[in-house]
Amino acid sequence: MSQELRAVEWTGTGLALIDQTALPHRTATVDVHDVDTLVDAIQRLVVRGAPAIGAAGAYGVAIALLQGEREGWTESETREAVARVREARPTAVNLMVCVDRVMTRFDDGLDAVLAEAAAVQREDVEANRAMGAFGADWLLKRVGADRPLRILTHCNTGALATAGWGTALGVIRELHARGRLEVVYADETRPLLQGSRLTAWELVQEGIPHFVQADGAAAGTILRGEVDAAIVGADRIAANGDTANKVGTVGVALACADAGIPFLVAAPTTTVDLSTPDGAAIHIELRGEDEVLEWGGIRTAPAESRGHNPAFDVTPGRLVTGLVTERGVLEVSTGELPGDRLR
């Protein structure tokens, strides 16, 4: 089922987005025909995951063109609407890269824009398939186990987070297809539970054995020797290998370093931002306080408490054992840096 899953799909007149806020209890679609709806969908995490947001942003240029034609916008107004889409989430570099790519066809008209957006989506699926194979090969060689592997992952990096197949979850799916996967530990991923709601849902579709665990349990699971490797995705990777990913990732990396097991980041080259020298230059999105002060709309913290809610953290490159892209694996912690190899 998840092989055919498309979080972002062009319908001919607009976008159909799987509403990831409704899963796993209900499968619903949000139809997008205007820029306001798309920006809201990106910010509310109806669509999420750096590659999926990138695909949505790519088609967002077409959304703006169509809306501008309906409402009589000037070219300047249409470009301003595209800029709003581009800036909807500041940390995930794929959104900006994909919008900028499609905008190179802006003056050629709607058909050219749609063709470029479709290419963005198609190339992401191809890249995910390639990194799945590269990542599985690297892990099996690196771990050297003669048994199926036990893998920990954080947040959601599957078909829902991409144009299809998945990044880190794509590596996991490849291991499963080869009969080399024993079990997955899926961190629940606070504050919106992308792990327990979305990753677990995708693993169920694939028939992959798994446990959902609290984020705070991850380090202990790793240090008890219950995990052979951790695989995560990324929202932005700096030239020196520092990696921004969903908050909680850096704790997983630290535990892997202490336990001496691989910490693998899986992301397409569109997630690598060579103009960002290191993690200190990555803008970290702060989300609303209610996501940590409330649960299901009910206040759980004292009224006087304030909420600190960074959506991401930055894992230093020295903790990244390997970075797998569609071009292969860089062993970042040994000095193979994106800024040197991916230019």
pLDDT digits over 147-190, tens only? 999 999 999 999 999 988 999 999 999 999 999 999 999 999 99
Read off the pLDDT band of 93 (50, 70, 90): confident
Predicted structure pTM score: 0.91
pLDDT of 341: 81
| Catalytic residue check, 235 | yes
pLDDT of residue 1: 44
Tokens representing 269?
């080259």
Confidence of residue 122 (pLDDT cuts 50, 70, 90): very high
Q: What angle do CA 272, 273, 278 make, to 5 degrees?
A: 105
| Token pair for 146 | 């003669």
Buried b (16+ CB within 10 A) or exposed e, 21-38: bebeeeeeebebebbebb
Q: What is the number of other CB atoms lying within 10 angstroms of the CB of residue 74? A: 9
Q: If we measure between CA atoms, which residue out of 319, 285, 226, 251 comes closest to residue 93?
A: 285
Residue indicated by tokens 């919106």: 192
Task: Give the whole-angstrom CA distance, residue 42 versus residue 15.
Answer: 12
The CA radius of gyration of the chain, in Å to the nearest whole number, is 19
Q: Which of 215, 235, 242, 313 is catalytic?
A: 235
Q: Which residue in this structure is represented by tokens 């999105």?
A: 285
Identity of the amino acid at 106: F
Question: Tokens for 234?
Answer: 């990324």
Predicted pLDDT of residue 13: 93
Picking from 157, 132, 170, the residue whose alpha carbon sits closest to that of residue 50 is: 157
> Using CA atoms, how far apart are residues 189 and 215, in angstroms rounded to an integer?
6
Quote the tokens at residue 243.
């990696």
Cα(57)–Cα(221) distance, integer angstroms: 37
